[in-house]
Amino acid sequence: MNKKVHVQDLGLKDYKETWDYQEQLFKDTLDFKIRNRREELSLETPNHFLFVEHPHVYTLGKSGDISNLLVDEKVLAAKGATFYKINRGGDITYHGPGQIVGYPILDLDNFFTDIHKYLRFLEEMVIMTLAEYGIKSERSPGETGVWLDVGTPFARKICAMGVRASRWVTMHGFALNVNADLGYFDMMIPCGIKGKAVTSLNVELGKKEVDLDEVKQKLLKHFQELFEAEIKEKTEV
């Protein structure tokens, strides 16, 4: 039986507001799960998948190195960007307009209890989506995310990932560059990996712009296939 996943597209939304909303869903899911077990109920734990675009923002994971941000907050402010230290894994990441950010808040007890497999499935969802645009992407050994031309001097990252989990409930997720302004990546060492470039789907396709909604629907289709999920779309926030 497929597990229900409630999908919401938040549009362009402030990072902190989205983080607070994500934290609330995460807490609600954990509380539901704990009550389920305490009272020996068999109710299905809710699962969520948030799509969002953020205004320009840099985030640093709990194991990240602040020196990978190459400018100070005054420079960021002048570029209309903000900065947050957050509780996911991974190093420094940029989010901005033209980038699809996905936050799956899943109870992995509903799917499989394996964080490694979870990350590989998220990567595979992106790889399958890019393949629909004729883009061959792949994993890079030891480096979470999705890359192009791995093992060559032209290796470049197109999708970053970083997750957190507690009692097998996940939060945070992935950031896929679709129509991203790549100039913002010059102000950091992406994910703390030196000497590797970053790219965006529109650049790879030689287009000014790719339809974001179309990409989201392709991502959801492959998510549904990989996780054997039943998608329930919601519009209210």
Catalytic residue annotation: 191
DSSP string, the chain: -PEEEEEEEEEE--HHHHHHHHHHHHHHHHHHHHHHHHTT--PPPP-EEEEEE-SSEEEE-TT--GGGB-S-HHHHHHTT-EEEE-SSSSSEEEE-TTEEEEEEE-BGGGT-S-HHHHHHHHHHHHHHHHHTTT---EEETTEEEEEESTTSTT-EEEEEEEEEEETTEEEEEEEEESS--GGGGGGB-GGG-TT-EE--HHHHHT-S---HHHHHHHHHHHHHHHHTEEEEEE---
